[in-house]
Structure 1
Amino acid sequence: MKKCGYIAIIGRPNVGKSTLLNHILRYKVSITSRKPQTTRHQITGIKTENNIQYIYVDTPGLHQDEPKAINRFMNKEAGSVIQDVDVILFVVEVGKWTSTDAWVLEKIAQAKVPVILVVNKVDQLKKRHDALVFEKEILEKYHFAASFLISAKQGHYIDKLESKIAEYLPQSDYFFFGTDQVTDRTERFIIAEIIREKLMRTMGQEVPYQLTVEIDKCKFDEGKNLMEIHATILVERKGQKAMIIGSKGSKLKKIGTDARQDMESMLDRKVFLQLWVKVKENWSDDERALRSLGYDSNL
């Protein structure tokens, strides 16, 4: 008898949810950066091992009091999975419990599935005792099915976490996905996300959060083993456009080079990448614009 089920990775922004998923899969399906709100969509990561298929759902970080349409979309993306999974991983950052963490836990408490507490970034503490004290404080807030102190970045104790998750997955006569499938996201989606990741990382503190990436062309030439990709970076103001392009195009060139290298590694083929930057005023708070860019239609 097989086991197969869905696991939601839930938490406030920037606690390491995407890093955890990528480490579990040993494959990059979810982009990462030190900036909050990097993940905007549900990202499904699939891991099949022996008779168990884990279907992880990485979610945008839940956050309070964000009025823009795109923030409502991200909250909806994260909140919608809570009732549709078999296990929830509630990820928090060690030593940092905020009002948003408490708010997220209130949302999770409405679910009728096991919730596993995952205290991440323990590698940042000098004393394990401090992590244990923090873990004990959180355990008093809810009846968790289990609890783990981990480092998603270093990979510490993740194998034990996976073993515990497997205990709660339901039995199944079949797997929901192919055994060699790693995600249900399209190639075009992942390409756009790679570009957005490089934008977030290259721009540093200057990064405008009001940016998104649209793939205009994605064509593979089998004879040349070459993928031709044209993409447009959308921002809301002319000043943001100038920041991304940089002096004599220097920043845009670096973003393109870094993204192309990641794409070539992922696709195992040569990539020709052409990037443009375009101003689309107020796109992140315009529901019609969001729909045209592939975001949810019911914000």
Structure 2
Amino acid sequence: MTEHDQKLPDYRCGFVAIVGRPNVGKSTLLNHLIGMKLSITSRKAQTTRHRITGVLTTDSAQFVFVDTPGFQNRHRNALNQAMNRNVTSTLADVDVILFVVEAGRFGPDDDAVLKLLPADRPVVLVINKIDTLVDKSALLPFIESMAQKREFTAVVPLSALRGLKLDVLQQAVEPLLPQSEPFYAEDQITDRNERFLAAEIVREKIFRMLGDELPYAMTVEIEKFDEEVTTRGQELRRIYAAVWVDRESQKAILIGKSGEKLKRIASEARKDMELMFDAKVYLEVWVKVKSGWADDTRLLRQFGFE
């Protein structure tokens, strides 16, 4: 019996959903909580499209954080409907909910998410981006106004980007988790495989480089993912990624003059993959055009949307 096993009678483990409108910092919060970049981030709304699980294991608890897509009220295509179903199904399965809002800002999109939260789950209000508040004295009135909207189990103001008060959030959540042995191995940080993470890395580089130029309807599919060992005994990943867009004009934007933009996207994505996978990576990226793919349920299933 290991030292970890001996603590099981008092050990806590549970699922913690991170929810909120688009662009409140949910993915940044997940990445900083577990100490590694799992969920991609950009200034473009709705960057997160899939449910991403990040695992944080301590001596007394295992937190299984679930980053969800920002609930979308404005776009009604099949892609966004699938993502909204992802959010609502997650809320029904977790033990604790982190409702993330931006300090000093609460609008109709935030309210729409708040109304989705089940009454029978503990909800911790996470007030993010406190470092951006010009008038710090406005924080307390904002907290008081939020307390009128729902009875929250706890309220934690923090800055996910700067890593401020994340320990306070962890301390608030731990006693809300059920007593249970850990679900995942101590060194496991996600339930997603490298193939999925590779697609997300490519998508992030596209959003970061072309977020203002490229429309929302774009996704990445890993068509081939091979692992091998070189003659020198070095691990190698051969990854072939297809970027799907709606129109030929979007393809031209992605590729850029003489292919320079696509080359840069692939180069930056490869570097991130090598750091994440701790292996050499050979990456090829190309662009495919399919009009209306975001409303094609067959393609959505192929791309991993439920």
TM-score by length of 2: 0.94
Return the offset for 1:31: 0.6
Contact kept in structure 2, 1:29 and 1:190, CA below 8 Å: yes
| 2:224 paired with 1:217 | yes
SS of 1:205's partner is coil
Looking at structure 1, the residues matched to 17 and 161 of structure 2 have their Cα atoms a distance apart, in angstroms, of 19
Q: Which runs of 5+ in 2 are unaligned?
A: 1-8
Query: Is 2:295 the counterpart of 1:288?
Result: no
Q: Which amino acid aligns with 2:133?
A: L
Work out the number of aligned pairs and report it: 294
How far, CA to CA, are the matches of 2:246 and 2:280 in structure 1?
A: 32
224, 236, 245: which one aligns with 2:246: 236
2:5 maps to which residue?
none
2:269 alignment partner in structure 1: 259
Show CA shifts across 1:198-245 (max 9, x none): 000000310221111111111122124221111100101001100000
Deviations 1:89-111 (A, max 9, x none): 00001122111111111111x34
Q: Is the 8 A contact 1:92 1:119 kept in 2?
A: yes
Which residue among 196, 202, 211 is the counterpart of 1:195? 202
| Matched-pair contact (CA < 8 Å) for 2:54–2:190 | yes
Q: Distance in 1 between matches of 2:184 and 2:249?
A: 45
Contact 2:83–2:305 (Cα < 8 Å) also in 1: no
CA distance in 1, matches of 2:137, 2:175: 28
State the secondary structure of the residue aligned to 1:104. helix
- State the shift of 1:188 in Å: 0.2
CA apart distance, 1:25: 0.4
Whole-Å Cα distance in 2 between the matches of residues 179 and 84 of structure 1? 22
- Report the Cα offset of residue 133 of structure 1: 2.0
Unpaired runs of at least 5, structure 1:
none
Amino acid of the residue matched to residue 57 of structure 2?
T
Deviates more, 1:161-170 or 1:125-134: 125-134
Contact kept, 8 Å, 1:83 with 1:111, in 2: the verdict is no
Q: Secondary structure of 1:70's partner?
A: helix
1:158-197 equivalent positions in 2, closer than 5 A: 158-172=166-180, 174-197=181-204
Letter in structure 2 aligned against 1:286: D
Task: Please list, as runs of the form range in 1=range in 2, the aligned pairs for 1:104-123 lying within 5 A after superposition.
Answer: 104-108=113-117, 110-123=118-131
1:248 maps to a residue whose letter is: S
Q: What is the TM-score when the length of structure 1 is the normalising length?
A: 0.96
Q: Do the aligned partners of 1:25 and 1:182 also contact (CA within 8 Å) in 2?
A: yes
- Aligned partner of 1:207: which letter? L
**Structure 1 partner of 2:213:** 206
Structure 2 match to 1:49: 58
The letter for the 2-side match of 1:199 is: I
2:217 counterpart letter in structure 1: Q
Fraction of identical pairs, as percent: 49
- Identify the residue that residue 98 of structure 1 maps to in structure 2: 107
Deviation at 1:5, TM superposition (A): 0.5
Please point out which of 8, 17, 27 is paired with 1:8.
17
Moved more, 156-165 or 130-139: 130-139
Contact 1:233 1:276 in 2 (8 A): yes
C-alpha RMSD of matched pairs (Å): 1.0
Q: Secondary structure at the match of 1:119?
A: strand
Following superposition, the deviation at residue 127 of structure 1 comes to 2.8
For 2:259 and 2:138, the matched residues in 1 are separated by 47
Q: Is the 8 A contact 1:4 1:52 kept in 2?
A: yes
- Kept in 1, the 8 Å contact 2:126–2:155? The answer is yes
1:236 aligned partner, one-letter code:
D
Residue 135 in structure 1 maps to residue 135 in structure 2 = no
Superposition deviation, residue 289 in structure 1: 1.6
Partner of 1:78: 87
Q: CA deviation at 1:35?
A: 0.8
- Is it true that 1:271 corresponds to 2:281 in the alignment? yes
